[in-house]
Amino acid sequence: MKTASEIFESLTALLQRNNISTDAAEVQGILVGMLAGGMPLESQDWKASLADFTNQGAALSNEIVNVISDIQQQNCQQLVEAEFALSLILPDDAAPINERGRALINWIQGFMLGFGLHQADLTKCSADVKEALEDFSEISRMDDEMSEDEESEQALSEVMEYVRISAMLCFNELGQSADQEQATPKTIH
């Protein structure tokens, strides 16, 4: 099984080969945001949404859809596990710090987009979720260059962990687990 950084590299390269100007971090952010905002786990709505936001509405190639489908399955599994297992798809720790910081910002912007597509009513959200979303908004606007030093590395690492935990918090509060989906009666028209 590929590591998160290997997935980042291979999916980002695949997107670039197909003239799609986004990276794997933003794609995963959108997917996780949609799930955290309440999109059912088995939903395929993400395909049209990703095509709209990453490819000007044109259908994504089968190769891209297949790779992203695997990522979406992993996201769903990781979000419902009790061990806080979500792994952010970001560049390797050996990549330059500003490259990793930019990818994290892309991930957060994607998350906010995906979340907004499925959760328009923030009045239902707890204070913790509202705070996390406000923090995400603040983090996504950061564009200062970081220096390649231990203090910056530590700060980036802490922000990455905060984002990971906060995304899971949003999913745990607003996302739909398979159990909830089965308990919700289906309306037949």
Q: What is the pLDDT of residue 177?
A: 60
Q: Report the predicted TM-score, pTM, of the whole model to 2 decimal places.
A: 0.91
Q: What is the pLDDT of residue 181?
A: 44
> Domain spanning 4-183 has what CATH number?
1.20.120.740
Q: What is the pLDDT of residue 20?
A: 93
Delimit the domains of the chain by residue range.
4-183
Tens-digit pLDDT profile for the chain (189 aa)?
789 999 999 999 999 999 998 999 999 999 999 999 999 999 999 999 999 999 888 899 999 999 999 999 999 999 998 787 899 999 999 999 999 999 999 999 999 999 999 887 888 789 999 999 999 999 998 877 888 889 999 999 999 999 999 999 999 999 876 454 444 444 443
- Asked if residue 178 lies in contact with residue 41, where contact means CB atoms within 8 angstroms, the answer is yes
Distance of CA 47 to the CA centre of its chain: 14
- Asked if residue 23 lies in contact with residue 106, where contact means CB atoms within 8 angstroms, the answer is yes
Q: What is the pLDDT of residue 187?
A: 41
Dihedral sign computed on CA atoms, order 87, 2, 100, 95: positive
Burial letters for 23-60: b for 16+ Cβ neighbours within 10 Å, e otherwise?
Answer: bbbbbbbbbbbbbbbbbbbeeeebbebbbebbbeeeeb
